[in-house]
Amino acid sequence: MKIAKNDIPAQIDIPGATARMTLDFGDATGYGTMSGEYFSLAQGTDIAPLLKGLETDLCQSPHWGYMIEGEVTVTYADGSEETAAGGDLFYWPPGHSIRVGADAEIILFSPQAEHCTVVEHLRKQLAAGS
């Protein structure tokens, strides 16, 4: 799920202040501590090969975030895809992979335990030369 800034309804719109809000933007029920993450990813990055060995060979952590700049395409377990670009808010549920279409700067908020498991797996894959 992603939404462009201008597609988010303004709840307050007065000179000098605009507050936009979208409701039901993912569900964090059952997740504990969250982590805040800043990712810089180069065009052409595809993490799919590094996810091999995880459940369904996909990232099993949900992410809520903001695409500062660039373009990232997310592929979900059912094969569907969507592309987030600079200025988009997004929610990526568990069961996804990403590839970068244009150099990207991303802010993520993720359940700490779930995403640390994925990041540690990626680190091991990189150390093994996958």
- Domain borders along the chain are 35-128
Whether the pLDDT of residue 130 is over 80: the answer is no
Q: Phi, psi (5° rounding) for residue 64?
A: -115, 140
What's the gap between Cα 99 and its chain centre? 11
**Any idea which architecture 35-128 has in CATH?**
Sandwich (2.60)
Residue, of 84 and 5, whose pLDDT is higher = 84
Higher pLDDT, 129 or 109: 109
CA-to-CA distance for 72 and 86, rounded, in angstroms?
A: 9
Q: What is the pLDDT of residue 49?
A: 94
Which pLDDT belongs to residue 4?
84
Indicate the length of the chain as a whole number: 130
Q: Higher-confidence residue: 58 or 28?
A: 58
Taking residues 79-89, report their average pLDDT: 96
Query: Span 43-65, mean pLDDT?
Result: 95
Average pLDDT over the chain reads 91
The three-class DSSP label of residue 43 is coil
| Degrees, nearest 5: CA angle 30-95-43 | 120
Tell me what pLDDT residue 97 has: 97
Please check the confidence at residue 3 and state whether its pLDDT lies above 80.
yes
